[in-house]
Structure 1
Amino acid sequence: MQFRTPLLLCLAAALAAPSVARAGDGRIEINHACATGTGCHPNDSPGFPVTMNFGGAALSYVLTSDLVIEDVNTTGISLPYGATLDLNGFQIRGPVTCTGRPAVCDASGAGSGVSAAGGAVRNGSVRGMGGAGIVGSDARVENVTIESNGGNGIAAGSSQGLLVSNCRIVANGGDGISTAAGSPRGSLVVNTSILSNAGDGLEGSGLLLIGSMVDLNGGYAVNSNAGQANPTYKDSAFYNSNGGNANAQVLGGRSLGDNWCGDAAC
């Protein structure tokens, strides 16, 4: 009966392999248990980052618990291009703490909360990562708090069609939002609070800022002295950045009206 040994070994290997957990709506679940245990799907190795790669398929994922990352150089989740991640009210949390106005962080590193080029991240929090909260050129970031990360809140260099809406980007160790690299085009930031970041509130070009509050950042509220196409802004308020209201709040760009810079309309 020697054939039983390889059969049992195959069975044991199958049982040990990670399986794909799906929510009732078919989205693939990510949680701390699978991330640190067997992996969250058969192509994902145990540990961080959770790498959701199904042969290039742009799928939909949902967080079903907080993710806790202990190292500043480790990324939380790496998504394939075009994928969607619903944080589902949970947070991706690293070890960094940033305090003050503007922020000073106790550490920094290379790890981001989510790498999401061309995809979408929504409905939760990313805080305490060593690097950027979200790295996502061409991405949509909606209803997310991005706070106390060692680098930029959102790093989206060369982005084409970046959309940031209804977000809080607070006390990060770099810029609140950076689209400074390359030649970004067609980006929109709307209904977003950008507060107490160590660098500029928003740095870059090729974008439109609408209905937003930018306050208490270490650099300019909006700095367009990078990239090739000046940003435009409307219905927004810029306060207490660049050393206070007595100093310029905006460098470059063009006002489309109904903005306030420090102590005067702009």
Structure 2
Amino acid sequence: MRCLAVFCLFAVLQPATAVAGGRYEINQLCVSSGCFAGDAPGFPIEISQSGSYRLTSNLVTSGGQALDAVIDIQAPQVSLDLSGFTVGGPTNCSGSPPVCLGTLVDSGIRVTGAARVDHVMIENGTVEGFNESCVSIEAEVLSMIVRDLGISHCREHGVSSLAPGRVEGVNVNVIGESGIFAPNALVLYSVVNETGSTGIFAESCTGNQLNRNGNGSTIDLLCPVQIGGNSCSGALCPDI
């Protein structure tokens, strides 16, 4: 289901365009009309063509209508640079372990599509406040990179992906379930605090810091291959 943007920064933003080298710009103002070819008016912003995309403003929805995602990536060979901006929804989590109030906006960024997606990269910004996973890679993705993100206040996982690849330099806080759920990926140099379940569930891990994760019956880190340097509550993480 689609909804029109709630907050528009009319005074300072310009509609999205393809800039030099085919890089597409996305901002709050263009949502009401469609940000580029293949994207219908309203959320979600649908990326249906391969290429490089970047945010030029925050993208915020108040959650007045049901919404699958703010940004929906449906094409292969897509790189999405948040450029330091925030993709934000209305969900808030509190307590220890966190309890999150349900809302109508499922994910901040998700990767979908019936066809196999051969690569996606999402980087450099903040994703917060969603009813399911903040970043959800749902399609049959052959490789992914998620890096340099701040993630918080999502009712399910911070990052959820079954794809191979890597999650790097991600800072996750106050999440209802796992901070990073990526059982076929390498997770490195990330920080995960205050989650309702396992902090990181991955194939291999190195250089991560984890604190106050789980509800007393789960663990900070579930990672069959620890390359080294993972810290759980200030001590070396045990081998699992």
2:94 to 92, 96, 99: 99
Partners of 1:232 and 1:110 in 2: CA distance? 35
Which structure has greater strand proportion?
2
Partners of 2:18 and 2:171 in 1: CA distance? 29
Percent identity at matched positions? 25
Partners of 2:58 and 2:105 in 1: CA distance? 20
Report the equivalent of 2:3: none
**Cα drift, residue 214 of structure 1:** 1.0
Query: Which consecutive unaligned segments of at least 5 residues does structure 2 have?
Result: 1-14, 112-116
Report the equivalent of 1:112: 107
Secondary structure, aligned partner of 1:115: strand
- Aligned AA for 1:203? F
CA contact (8 A) 2:71 2:109 kept: yes
Compute the TM-score of the two structures, normalised by the length of structure 2.
0.79
Partners of 1:49 and 1:265 in 2: CA distance? 41
Report the equivalent of 2:229: 235
Aligned pairs for 1:1-266 within 5 A: 21-24=17-20, 26-35=22-31, 37-54=32-49, 58-71=50-63, 73-79=67-73, 80-107=75-102, 111-116=106-111, 118-136=119-137, 138-157=143-162, 159-160=163-164, 162-180=165-183, 184=184, 187-204=185-202, 207-218=203-214, 219-223=218-222, 230-239=224-233, 260-261=236-237
Partners of 2:59 and 2:219 in 1: CA distance? 33
* 1:200-251 deviation line (CA, Å, top 9, x unaligned): 11125xx221111011111311235xxxxx33341111129xxxxxxxxxxx
In structure 2, relative to structure 1, the CA distance for the partners of 1:197 and 1:64 (3 Å cut) is same
Partners of 1:149 and 1:122 in 2: CA distance? 18
* 1:62-81 deviation line (CA, Å, top 9, x unaligned): 00111112336430111122
Partners of 2:95 and 2:53 in 1: CA distance? 34
Q: CA RMSD in A?
A: 2.4
Query: Which consecutive unaligned segments of at least 5 residues does structure 1 have?
Result: 1-18, 225-229, 241-258
**Cα drift, residue 101 of structure 1:** 3.3
In the alignment of these two chains, the number of paired residues is 210
Partners of 2:23 and 2:42 in 1: CA distance? 21
Partners of 2:169 and 2:103 in 1: CA distance? 26
Compute the TM-score of the two structures, normalised by the length of structure 1.
0.72
Report the equivalent of 2:4: none
- Aligned AA for 1:167? V
Secondary structure, aligned partner of 2:213: coil
Point out 4+ residue stretches in structure 1 off by more than 3 angstroms: 23-26
Partners of 2:16 and 2:92 in 1: CA distance? 33
Partners of 2:125 and 2:208 in 1: CA distance? 19
* 1:13-50 deviation line (CA, Å, top 9, x unaligned): xxxxxx86124554101111111x11111311111110
**Cα drift, residue 194 of structure 1:** 0.9
Partners of 1:68 and 1:165 in 2: CA distance? 25
- Aligned AA for 2:231? A
